[in-house]
Amino acid sequence: MGSDTIFSKIIRREIPADIVYEDDLCLAFRDVNPQAPVHVLLIPKQPIPQLDAAIDADQALLGHLLLKAKTVAEQLGLTRGYRLVINNGPDAGQTVDHLHCHILGNRPLAWPPG
């Protein structure tokens, strides 16, 4: 499931990344084009192209990602709040076909975001 993406190459350590968290199921690293003072991408190691491609069997993994987003935010000192963003498809701004959560913080974030 999924294609060989830049994120797959980061998981395999073929491309360097500033990794801030890792466990058996996911990896978090700093975005190379940050949109906030803290901008980390949290990705599952199992490639799922986008949220629409997730299936019922992915439920535990998706829950794990949300809980680890909280862990990463705490680790990075985002005590005043943070935003989680999952872009789904090209019209939403998804540029890598590997499900990922953006963790953004350390600045006020306006609403609506787009």
Domains and CATH numbers, the chain: 6-105 (3.30.428.10)
Question: Does an H or E element contain 38, and which?
Answer: strand 38-44
Q: How far is CA 30 from the centre of its chain?
A: 10
The Cα–Cα gap between 60 and 101 comes to 16
Q: Which of 39, 98, 100, 102 is catalytic?
A: 100
What three-state secondary structure class fits 18? Answer: coil
Q: Is 39 an active-site residue?
A: no
The model's pTM is 0.93
Cis peptide before 16 (omega within 30 of 0): no
From first to last of its 114 residues, the chain has per-residue pLDDT tens of 446 899 999 999 999 999 999 999 999 999 999 999 999 999 999 999 999 999 999 999 999 999 999 999 999 999 999 999 999 999 999 999 999 999 999 999 998 876
CA gap 65, 20 in Å, rounded: 14
